[in-house]
Amino acid sequence: MREFLLFLLAVSAASSRSHVNWCELGCDCHGDLRFAICSRAFFTQLPARIPSTTEFLDLSVNRIAIIPEQSFNKNRKLRVLFLQNNNISVVEDGAFLHLEFLQKLDLSRNQISALGKGFSVGLTFLRELQLAHNSLSTLDSTSFMHLDSLQRLNLSGNNIRTIQLRSFASMSSLRHLHLEGNRLTSLNSGIFSMLRSLEVLNLAGNHINETQVGVFKPLTSMTLLNLAHNRLTGIYFKTFLSIHTYSTHILLEGNPWNCDCDLQRVFRKLRSIQRLFLDDYSNLTCGNPAILRNYRLTQVDTELCIAETVTVLIITVTVVITVLAAMLMGERKRKKKKKRKHWTQQGELSDESDY
């Protein structure tokens, strides 16, 4: 009966374009109820009667605060769900249960500070998840457990400090991971371990000062690694050597590099690796020592090892001089001895001639 009614409504919706009977005040419904655009409708909660035929639902720019469990269990045909720019602070476990066709979910610009372990239940076929500009501080190992098909994850502009091991463990299809503008300080090996399809890893604008040697090793499809505007003072050659890809572009500008001979050596070696491209190398600047602050690494890099070269030179010269001196002394002694011998021999001769 209900389906039949909806069918009738659908027919009427097709004939009268804009506000149809069922369409909640503030919504604009099109295309046989497949599109419901309810943006800027001053909703403080989810509308009660979203038709089951809706595939595209735009609820952006409202004041919705809570997404209760099973909110969309009558909307199983949803493909795109926009909830950005609301006031959402609570997403209950199982909120998106049964959304087997959902491909894109936008929850960006809300107040979400935590995701429960049931957050991703029912989102097995989701391709794109936008969670930028929320208040997440930790990525829990269970929150994203069911996102097997996810290709794009945008977590930029949160307060993420901690990424638990296995947070991304379900995401073997993920291609783009955006973590820029968070508060990460270190990257521990293992956090990216299942991301073998990942092409773009954006970590710009964090507080990263340490990267464990094996952290990028599992990322065998990575084409772009953005580490710009962090707090890196140095890097281990092995961290980047372990990136086994066909070709990877790496961005490193805006870090306070400690410009010394070690750094110069690491970069010289890195730049000689054919598959790695340090695109912004010419923009890297020194943070330390104070005398070199804000100088470009390319301006000073030929001089960074000079002090060391000079030391080596001094040592070499000293050694050479010592050796030479020793040899000369030896030679002199030998000559003296010879002379003395000569004289004594002559003396003996003259003694003889005295007779």
Ligand X SMILES: *[C@@H]1O[C@H](CO)[C@@H](O)[C@H](O)[C@H]1NC(C)=O
**Terminal alpha carbon distance of the chain:** 154
Burial of 187 (0-12, 13-18, 19+ CB in 10 A): buried
Binding site for ligand X (CB under 6 A): 63, 65, 87, 89, 108, 130, 132-133, 154, 156, 178, 279-280, 283
Q: Whose Cβ is closer to ligand X: residue 9's or residue 83's? A: 83
Q: Whose Cβ is closer to ligand X: residue 193's or residue 283's? A: 283
Give me the least distance between CB of 297 and ligand X, in Å please.
12
For 210-243, b/e burial (b = at least 16 CB within 10 A) is bbeeebbbbbebbbbbbbbbbebbebebebbebb
Number of residue whose CB is nearest ligand X: 132
Q: Whose Cβ is closer to ligand X: residue 108's or residue 143's? A: 108
Q: Whose Cβ is closer to ligand X: residue 131's or residue 163's? A: 131
Distant-in-sequence, close-in-space partners of 302: CB < 8 Å, separation ≥ 6? none
Residue pair 139/163 in contact (Cβ under 8 Å)? The answer is: yes
Record the tokens describing residue 70, joined without a space. 């099973």
Give me the least distance between CB of 273 and ligand X, in Å please.
18
Give me the least distance between CB of 253 and ligand X, in Å please.
6
Give me the least distance between CB of 163 and ligand X, in Å please.
17
Q: Whose Cβ is closer to ligand X: residue 75's or residue 226's? A: 226
User: Would residue 27 be called left, alpha or beta, if left means φ above 0 and alpha means ψ between -120 and 50 degrees?
Assistant: beta
Give me the least distance between CB of 5 and ligand X, in Å please.
33
Q: Whose Cβ is closer to ligand X: residue 67's or residue 243's? A: 67
CA–CA separation, 218 and 15 (whole Å): 55
Residues β-bridged to residue 128:
104, 152
Distant-in-sequence, close-in-space partners of 77: CB < 8 Å, separation ≥ 6? 52, 53, 54, 55, 101
Q: Whose Cβ is closer to ligand X: residue 70's or residue 283's? A: 283
Give me the least distance between CB of 65 and ligand X, in Å please.
4
Q: Whose Cβ is closer to ligand X: residue 53's or residue 60's? A: 60
Give me the least distance between CB of 132 and ligand X, in Å please.
3
Give me the least distance between CB of 32 and ligand X, in Å please.
30
Q: What is the CA radius of gyration of the chain?
A: 35
The DSSP output letter for 282 is G
Residue pair 211/184 in contact (Cβ under 8 Å)? The answer is: no
